[in-house]
Amino acid sequence: MPGRELREWLLTHDAATRMRLLAQLNEEERAALSHHWRVWARPEQLPPSGDWRVWLVCAGRGFGKTRLGAEWVRQIARETPDARIALVGASLGEARTVMVEGESGLLDCCADAERPKFEPSRHQLTFANGARATLYSAAEPESLRGPQHSHAWCDEIAKWDNASERAMRAWDNLQMGLRLTERPLTLATTTPRNVPLMHRLLKNETSGTVAVTRGTTFDNAGNLPGAFLDAMRKDFDATRLGRQELYGEMLSDLDGALWTRAILDRAVASKMKEDLSRVVVAVDPPASAKGDACGIIVAGIGESGSGHVLADCTVEKASPEQWALAVANAAEHWHADRVVAEANQGGAMVSSVLRAASVALPVKLVHASRGKSARAEPVAALYEAGRVVHHAMFAQLVDQLCGMIVGGDYQGPGRSPDRADALVWALTELMLSGRGGRPRVKQI
């Protein structure tokens, strides 16, 4: 019975009956059924109809893109013994650890009898019937210039390196080498980002040559832990980052934005380790106890001169005592050597409130003599130069940074960019004040 018909037949029975039917299978039959993709796949994980050349799966994290890609390659290899398939990742390491050896990769989705032989040194998988798949890195476009293929699976194309147009050159070289069959096919799986390659493919959606499947993290709820889904909703549902990473939307940058999502995506490196010579807690106090949030950002400067954004401890609708306590806790936790606080909204009151909360560190009051955008421009330039690292995704901070416009009004979420202002004060103190580092060292 074909996979889709078998799936529909199983679904005509209630859960108890399905379990009873499955229990009647022997171990070999159950193992075979577990690898019958068309039984378990959701409809949107199966190839679309039509005469497309590129199938673009543009969906949130956890949608099941990797399993979809591995199963697509597996089907092609099974049906086409002379298939020559390119597996292109952002790097060779990612191609191997995600596309081949990952929990949803090619080796895992194949039954023992059909599992291909993987030769890491040759970056190649060979199937029993002769079909072959070869790994490539999109960061090395020239490696795709010579080889010929019949099919290709390109993973996370929106995170391919765009420097010197590497992503576009890798894609073009790959497409020019797809000449071993009358109908070459490419599958591209990705969480969307606002990059040139994504724009090119989506522009061709209406022509029929590119078929687009869209989806969200929550489409795959049956295979994801409930606690994970609850946490994602709580932390990211109201953010632009959540719309991109969970709901699979491709967000456009605002005209004239000081920060773009591509720049901020590159800044995330949560596992980077470096000795820090200074750590500060920067505070953007609210104008009133019932007003905006109190922006609290912890940042440090490394021995290399790089800035490190360590934590966003911002508090919402807090009284002066509450936000001062949050500052004190952040300073203690991160062993900060200074608190930097904007004084325009209360002057000396800021310093006295912090001292009342037992903040024993030096408190530097800074005064905003220029507009928010003008203050932020030098800090944005540090990001463009690759000199700032984020140690987490900081979704709400990122949304505010993307709303800072050159020479214009703030266009991000909320009335005020409190988190972004605090970040600007922190990195200005650490990297633009000319103070330099202190001999004290903290390991992160």
Positive or negative torsion for Cα 140, 144, 149, 151:
positive
**Coil vs helix vs strand at 336:** coil
Q: Residue 75 and residue 351: Cα distance in Å, rounded?
A: 66
Q: What is the pLDDT of residue 111?
A: 83
**How confident is the prediction for the chain on average, in pLDDT?**
87
Confidence of residue 164 (pLDDT cuts 50, 70, 90): confident
In the structure encoding, which two tokens stand for residue 61, read together?
């994290």
Strands (E) in 145-264, as ranges, are 151-155, 185-190, 210-215
CA atoms within 13 A on the CB side of 441: 7
Condensed to tens digits (0 to 9), the pLDDT of residues 240-288 reads 889 989 999 988 888 889 999 889 988 997 566 789 999 999 999 887 6
pLDDT band at 370 (very low <50, low <70, confident <90, very high): confident
pLDDT at 3: 46
0.95 exceeded by the pTM? Answer: no
pLDDT of residue 211: 97
Element (H, E) at 234: helix 226-236
Go through the domains of the chain in sequence order and give each one's CATH number.
24-220 (3.40.50.300), 261-443 (3.30.420.240)
Dump pLDDT digits (tens) for 282-315: 999 887 666 678 999 999 999 999 999 999 999 9
**Is the pLDDT at 437 greater than 70, yes or no?**
no
- pLDDT value of position 362: 84
Beta bridge partners of 298: 281, 311
How much is the CA Rg of the chain, to the nearest whole Å? 26
Percent of the chain exceeding pLDDT 70 equals 86
215 pLDDT higher than 60: yes
Sign of CA dihedral 118, 119, 123, 129: negative
pLDDT score of 90: 95
> Any idea which of 142-146, 187-191, 334-338, 360-364 has the lowest mean pLDDT?
360-364
CA distances 219 to 17, 40, 42, 229, Å, are 25, 14, 9, 11
The whole-angstrom separation of Cα 15 and Cα 17 is: 5
Single out the residue of 266, 280, 283, 342 nearest to residue 310, CA to CA: 280
Both structure tokens of 212 = 């687009």
Burial status of residue 370 (CB atoms within 10 A of its CB: 0-12, 13-18, 19 or more): exposed
Kindly report, residue by residue over 60-91, the tens digit of the pLDDT. 999 999 999 999 999 999 999 999 999 999 99
- The pLDDT score that the predictor gives to residue 261 is 87
Give the residue among 244, 234, 240, 199 at the shortest CA–CA distance from 401.
240
- Strands of 210-215's sheet, edge to edge? 117-119, 124-126, 132-137, 84-89, 151-155, 185-190, 54-59, 210-215
Task: Tell me how far apart the alpha carbons of residues 184 and 140 are, in angstroms, rounded to a whole number.
Answer: 22
